[in-house]
């Protein structure tokens, strides 16, 4: 890409000798078509090009960033960074730059979706709900990422992704569904619409039930939310350094049916094959038969914990956020949703969680609510839709040894309240889940 080549040439010649330097650029085109009350009401498209420059000299480090327009003059940009570097404090955590052996060339041309193509996906979703009120979005992204450093690394990669997520509402209920993929053409909008519509219709006129400990079947989106929390607070090595992670490696902290891997190398994984430092990511075992096997590391966390870097640095956050697994995959089991329901004497089916927040990160006790499709299961059958319940439950305990009754046999990309889903998960059947409040508080 010419804008990168020009930028790199201009910056490189202005780097003072003896200074370690890392230059990164993300060029993105993102589009999102949003619908509510069964019509498209907001339709947005953005082109961005953001540049990050990190300099390290005399044990001091500085990062400055700008988009291409704000950067104006590369010489001034480097000069500004050098001035700031002088007033920076000593950086004891500096962990160096990846070398040329980590270089990766994955740049490719990806066709962008058009507003009309996204509108057609929305139409497919909305039409499944007949007269019901539909709301949601259809989005598509193409990203090109470039990294160069003075240690000889020169990496680039391209990625694309597309999602549809929506709900149908009736007077008394709502149902939601989600699909994600690498290209918009991969997205089965009609299938998602059909699922959401069925949940909304089946969920009409819900009844309130008493809070308490229930056996639960968690749908894809609910499972995804649990894994987002464990990924950010638990397996993030920075969280461990900060004393907030419940994860202890080589301990059997989860049920033996839990097998969690990060799969950046898989062809059907969404996202880049390299991390923000430009090094190639590798598939990584996170939980094996219930045993915690690895944290997500960046250069700095690996240095601080004397561990091997797993290359999970995020673009834009620097290393302030720690290491995040962006291609988590919870391995599926062999039990269908129908078989799960048949095996429940009294329990609850939850499609999606909402507004989950941690009470204490180290215990992973989280409070949140159910929404968009919740049902009471009695004697092997769904007997009625249920209203809102509030849970206060440790997510670690929810996946603990003995609490997983079965793992679903169908996996897909699933959403969570924290953004578009890049996690592939099956449904889970849990022995206990603690609901602490009902509709009356």
Partner 1 sequence: MFSEINLSIDSAISSGAKYADARILISKSRNIAAKNGEIENLNENEKIGIGVRALVGSSWGFYSTYDLSNESLKQAGKKSFEIAKASSTVSGEELPFADIPVVEDSYTTPHDENPFSVSSSEQIDLLLSSTEKMKKLGSSRAFGRLDFWDTEKWFASSQGHKIYQNIIESGGGISSLSVGDGETQIRSYPQSFGEYRTGGWEVVKSFEFENHLERLSQESQRLLVAPQCPQGTMDLILEGSQLALQIHESVGHAIELDRILGWEAAYAGTSHLDLKKLNKHKYGSELMNIIADATLPGALATFKYDDEGTPAQRVDIVKEGIWTGVLSGRDSAAVAGVPPGGMVRADGFGRLPMVRMTNVGLLPGDSSLEEIIEATDEGVYMETNRSWSIDDLRLNFQFGCEAGWLVKNGKIIDMVKNPTYTGITPEFWGNMDMLSGEEEWIFWGTPNCGKGQPSQIGHTGHPASPARFKNTRIGVRG
Cα 381 to Cα 370: distance, rounded to the nearest angstrom: 20
The candidate with the shortest Cα–Cα distance to 7, out of 32, 28, 34, 26, is 26
Q: Is 249 in the site for partner 1 (CB under 8 A)?
A: no
Applying the rule CB under 8 A, the residues between 100 and 159 that interact with partner 1 are 114-116, 118-120, 122-123, 126, 133, 135-137, 139
Number of residues that bind partner 1 (CB under 8 A): 91
The residue range among 11-19, 39-47, 180-188, 323-331 that interacts with partner 1, by the rule CB under 8 A, is 39-47
CB of 269 to partner 1, least distance (A): 22
CB of 183 to partner 1, least distance (A): 19
Residue 43 to residues 128, 136, 140: CA-CA distances in angstroms? Answer: 21, 12, 12
CB of 157 to partner 1, least distance (A): 21
The residue range among 44-52, 214-222, 282-290, 404-412 that interacts with partner 1, by the rule CB under 8 A, is 44-52
Q: For 107-207, where are the E strands, in sequence order? A: 133-149, 154-169, 174-181
CB of 45 to partner 1, least distance (A): 5
CB of 432 to partner 1, least distance (A): 11
**Between 41 and 342, whose beta carbon lies closer to partner 1?**
41
**Which structure tokens are listed for 371?**
């929404």
Residue from 62, 97, 270, 407 that binds partner 1 (CB under 8 A)?
62
Q: Which residues contact 371 (CB under 8 A, 6 or more apart)?
A: 174, 176, 351, 352, 353, 354, 388
Residue from 359, 378, 381, 410 that binds partner 1 (CB under 8 A)?
359
On whether the CB atoms of residues 93 and 302 are closer than 8 A, the answer is no
Residue from 1, 68, 209, 314 that binds partner 1 (CB under 8 A)?
68
Residue from 5, 6, 16, 44 that binds partner 1 (CB under 8 A)?
44
**Between 336 and 434, whose beta carbon lies closer to partner 1?**
434
CB of 196 to partner 1, least distance (A): 10
CB of 231 to partner 1, least distance (A): 18
**Between 88 and 150, whose beta carbon lies closer to partner 1?**
88
Q: What is the DSSP string of 182-239?
A: SSGGG--HHHHHHHHHHHHHHTSS-B----EEEEEEE-HHHHHHHHHHIIIIISBHHH
Q: Is 441 in the site for partner 1 (CB under 8 A)?
A: yes
Applying the rule CB under 8 A, the residues between 156 and 215 that interact with partner 1 are 165-167, 169, 176
Applying the rule CB under 8 A, the residues between 76 and 105 that interact with partner 1 are 84, 87-89, 91-93
Applying the rule CB under 8 A, the residues between 386 and 425 that interact with partner 1 are 388, 390, 392-394, 419
Cα 373 to Cα 370: distance, rounded to the nearest angstrom: 8
Burial class (CB in 10 A: 0-12, 13-18, 19+), 23: buried
**Between 240 and 429, whose beta carbon lies closer to partner 1?**
240
Q: What are phi and psi of 264, to 5 degrees?
A: -60, -25
At residue 232's C-alpha, the angle toward residues 230 and 235, to 5°, is 60
Residue from 49, 226, 270, 423 that binds partner 1 (CB under 8 A)?
49
End-to-end CA gap in the chain = 56
3-state secondary structure of 322: strand
**Between 117 and 339, whose beta carbon lies closer to partner 1?**
117
DSSP 377: E
Applying the rule CB under 8 A, the residues between 3 and 32 that interact with partner 1 are 30-32
């Amino acid at each position: 890409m010419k804008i990168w080549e020009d930028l790199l040439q201009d910056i490189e010649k202005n780097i003072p000798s003896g200074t370690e330097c890392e230059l990164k650029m993300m060029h993105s085109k993102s589009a999102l078509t949003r619908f509510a009350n069964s019509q498209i009401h907001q339709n947005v498209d953005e082109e961005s090009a953001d540049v990050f420059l990190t300099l390290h000299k005399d044990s001091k480090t500085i990062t400055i960033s700008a988009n291409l327009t704000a950067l104006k003059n590369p010489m001034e940009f480097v000069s500004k960074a050098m001035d700031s570097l002088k007033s920076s404090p000593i950086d004891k955590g500096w962990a160096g730059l990846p070398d040329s052996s980590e270089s990766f060339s994955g740049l490719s041309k990806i066709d962008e979706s058009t507003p009309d193509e996204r509108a057609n996906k929305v139409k497919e979703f909305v039409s499944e709900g007949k007269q019901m009120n539909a709301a949601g979005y259809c989005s598509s992204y193409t990203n090109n990422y470039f990294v160069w450093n003075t240690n000889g690394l020169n990496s680039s990669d391209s990625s694309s992704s597309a999602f549809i997520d929506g709900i149908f509402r009736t007077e008394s209920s709502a149902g939601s569904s989600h699909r994600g993929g690498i290209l918009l053409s991969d997205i089965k909008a009609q299938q998602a619409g059909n699922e959401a519509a069925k949940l909304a219709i089946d969920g009409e006129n819900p009844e309130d039930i008493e809070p308490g400990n229930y056996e639960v079947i968690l749908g894809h989106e609910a499972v995804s939310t649990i894994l987002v929390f464990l990924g950010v607070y638990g397996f993030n090595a920075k969280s461990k350094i900060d004393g907030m992670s419940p994860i202890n490696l080589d301990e059997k902290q989860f049920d033996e049916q839990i097998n969690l891997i990060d799969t950046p190398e898989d062809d059907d994984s969404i996202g880049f094959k390299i991390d923000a430092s430009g090094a190639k990511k590798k598939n990584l075992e996170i939980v094996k038969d219930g045993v915690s096997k690895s944290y997500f590391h960046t250069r700095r966390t690996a240095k601080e914990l004397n561990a091997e870097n797993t290359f999970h640095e995020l673009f834009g956050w620097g290393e302030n956020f720690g290491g995040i697994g962006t291609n988590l995959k919870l391995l599926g089991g062999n039990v269908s949703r129908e078989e799960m329901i048949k095996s429940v004497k009294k329990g609850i089916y939850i499609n999606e969680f909402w507004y989950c927040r941690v009470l204490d990160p180290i215990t992973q006790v989280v409070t949140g609510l159910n929404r968009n499709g919740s049902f009471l299961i009695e004697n092997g059958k769904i007997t009625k839709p249920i209203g809102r319940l509030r849970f206060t439950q440790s997510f670690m305990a929810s996946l603990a040894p003995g609490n997983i009754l079965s793992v679903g046999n169908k996996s897909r990309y699933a959403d969570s309240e924290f953004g578009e889903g890049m996690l592939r998960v099956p449904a889970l059947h849990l022995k206990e889940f603690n609901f602490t409040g009902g509709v009356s508080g």
